[in-house]
Amino acid sequence: MSGQVKSSPAMGYVNKGGLEGSQAEWEIRRDLGSSMRLRSHPWKADRLAAELQLVGEYGLRNKRELWRAQTILRKIRAHAEETLRSYWRGAG
């Protein structure tokens, strides 16, 4: 049992390769939480092309970095909008 990980949804482990025993490739599912939001339709060609262009344009390593940056910008915009709304409510 040493060094071998059991497949358990509660533990967050997933058998990636569909193999059994020592040949199995294990992947730990991480709770992404608020660091980024995964896409609801990961296969749409127009969005994939746009993401690939942004990754190349800004020199990002992968799309995960792009998604994190988009999430950070989304949070900043939401905070700015809320700040402006509260300012104008108080001034009016």
pLDDT tens per residue, range 57-77: 999 999 999 999 999 999 999
Contact 23, 17 (CB under 8 A): yes
Q: Which amino acid is at 24?
A: A
38/25 same-domain check: no
Same domain assignment for residues 41 and 68: yes
Are residues 44 and 63 both part of a single domain? yes
Task: Please tell me the predicted confidence (pLDDT) of residue 1.
Answer: 47
Judge if 55 and 22 occupy the same domain.
no
Angle in degrees, CA 85, 89, 92, rounded to 5: 135
- Enclosing domain of residue 76: 34-91
29: which DSSP letter? P
Strand pairing partners for 28?
A: 13
Among 2-6, 32-36, 60-64, 81-85, whose mean pLDDT is lowest?
2-6
Average of per-residue pLDDT values in the chain = 77
- Looking at the structure of the chain, the number of domains it has is 2
Q: Does one domain contain both 49 and 77?
A: yes
* 45 and 58 fall within a common domain: yes
Both 39 and 24 in one domain: the answer is no
Identify the weakest region by mean pLDDT among 12-16, 32-36, 53-57, 67-71. Answer: 12-16
48 and 14 in a common domain: no
Claim to verify: residue 20 and residue 51 sit in the same structural domain:
no
Among 68, 70, 65, smallest CA distance to 55 is for: 65
Same domain, 40 and 59: yes
